[in-house]
């Protein structure tokens, strides 16, 4: 069961490695000491859907109902610590819905200090029983990719990132693209990396937009195309991506006026497509 992400909000999770967020010449990123990828995961625990927690087709057990009220502040003040204790009791019985919520609470630090290892543990248990969301699958895949709180496992990372990417998670798309770019799924596959970066870019991700620009500028997975490179850099630059601004300006001095006119027209077209995608996404979460 995939849980619709309408209840999720952005919470930054930045890996403990320093990196320039745009892929330039990736040999400058070292493996395996640190896996520096563009990972900023977003996750917050779900105000859960009742059907997720109904065991055996029945309604909430008294314990579930009590946990729900503490978490959501129904008839009492919000108390995440008490909600977590109750959900944890339920999760330990094997209930996947409760495991999902506990994972989210540990991950975000609701009712406890943030604990990504415990968050991963419970989110994985829930996912293995079929209860997940695009964000939780992306977190699981990302932590396998980084080896953060769990042994690094590229095969498992790819499996969960692919599931999340298929469900539209932007972070999963760009981290999966990173894996294809660097050959972490086998041999480097620039073509597949480019397609995934494009998907994330069209959903509004500025890093992916800049990466698409770079791949067109340098002919990685596609022929060199300065017009498309400029257009994609411009999209990222419009969101304040300083690396994209610099790359676009450097590219511009090598372009003639005809190319620039085409590039600017294309950037307007791409901008409209991105805005349209954002509206569709926003509508789907209402």
Name the domain boundary from 174, 204, 234: 204
Is 221 found in the same domain as 158?
no
Q: Are residues 282 and 180 in the same domain?
A: no
Same domain flag for 168 and 281: no
Q: Is the dihedral of CA 79, 82, 88, 91 positive or negative?
A: negative
The verdict on 28 and 115 lying in the same domain is yes
**Same domain assignment for residues 101 and 241:** no
171 shares its domain with 215: no
Task: Please give the structure tokens belonging to residue 267.
Answer: 């950037």
Predicted local confidence at residue 53, as pLDDT: 44
Whether the CB-CB separation of 262 and 270 falls below 8 Å is answered with no
How many domains are there within the chain?
Answer: 2
269, 231: one domain: yes
Q: How far is CA 99 from the centre of its chain?
A: 20
All residues at 6 or more sequence positions from 20 whose CB lies less than 8 Å from its CB, including other chains: 243
Share of the chain above pLDDT 90, in %: 72
More confident residue, 71 or 1: 71
CATH code where residue 128 lies: 1.25.40.10
Counting beta carbons within 10 angstroms of the beta carbon of residue 199, is it exposed (0 to 12), middle (13 to 18) or buried (19 or more)? buried
The verdict on 199 and 216 lying in the same domain is: no
Q: Quick check: 36 pLDDT over 80? A: no
Q: Are residues 54 and 66 in the same domain?
A: yes
Q: What is the chain's mean pLDDT, rounded? A: 81
Contact 45, 105 (CB under 8 A): yes
* Final residue in a domain of this structure, among 204, 223, 238: 204
Model pLDDT for residues 124-173, shown as the tens digit of each residue: 999 999 999 999 999 999 999 999 879 999 999 999 999 999 999 999 99
Q: 187: buried, middle or exposed (CB in 10 Å: 19+, 13-18, 0-12)?
A: exposed
**Which domain, by its residues, includes 24?**
5-204
Contacts of 275 (CB under 8 A, 6+ apart): none
Considering the domain architecture, whether residues 182 and 93 belong to the same structural domain is answered as: yes
User: Is the model's pLDDT at 181 over the cut of 80?
Assistant: yes
CA distance 23 to 26: 6
pLDDT confidence of residue 61: 81
**Using 50, 70 and 90 to split pLDDT, how confident is the model at 33?**
very low
Question: Could you give the 3-state DSSP secondary structure of residue 243?
Answer: helix
Which of 204, 234, 266 represents a domain boundary (last residue)? 204
270 shares its domain with 131: no
Which residues, including other chains, have CB under 8 Å from residue 254's CB and lie 6 or more apart?
A: 226
Shared domain check, 232 and 198: no
């Amino acid at each position: 069961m995939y849980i619709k992400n309408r209840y999720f909000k952005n919470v930054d999770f930045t890996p403990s490695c320093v990196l320039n967020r745009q892929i330039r010449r990736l040999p400058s990123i070292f493996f395996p000491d640190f896996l520096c990828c563009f990972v900023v995961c977003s996750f917050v625990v779900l105000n859960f859907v009742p059907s997720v927690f109904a065991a055996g087709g029945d309604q909430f057990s008294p314990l579930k109902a009590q946990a729900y009220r503490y978490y959501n502040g129904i008839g009492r003040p919000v108390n995440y610590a008490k909600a977590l204790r109750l959900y944890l009791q339920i999760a330990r019985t094997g209930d996947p819905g409760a495991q999902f919520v506990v994972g989210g609470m540990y991950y975000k630090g609701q009712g406890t200090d943030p604990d990504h290892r415990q968050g991963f543990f419970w989110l994985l248990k829930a996912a293995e029983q079929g209860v997940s969301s695009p964000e939780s699958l992306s977190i699981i895949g990302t932590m396998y990719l980084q080896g953060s709180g769990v042994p690094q496992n590229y095969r498992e990372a790819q499996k969960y990132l692919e599931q999340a990417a298929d469900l539209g998670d932007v972070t999963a798309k760009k981290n999966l693209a990173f894996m294809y770019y660097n050959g972490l799924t086998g041999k480097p596959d620039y073509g597949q990396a480019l397609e995934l970066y494009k998907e994330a870019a069209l959903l509004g991700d500025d890093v992916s937009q800049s990466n698409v620009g770079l791949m067109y500028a340098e002919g990685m997975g596609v022929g060199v195309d300065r017009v498309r490179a400029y257009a994609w850099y411009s999209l990222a630059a419009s969101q304040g991506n300083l690396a994209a601004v610099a790359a676009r300006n450097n590219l511009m001095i090598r372009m003639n006026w005809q190319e620039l006119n085409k590039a600017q027209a294309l950037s307007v077209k791409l901008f409209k497509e991105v805005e349209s995608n954002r509206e569709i996404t926003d509508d789907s979460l209402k």
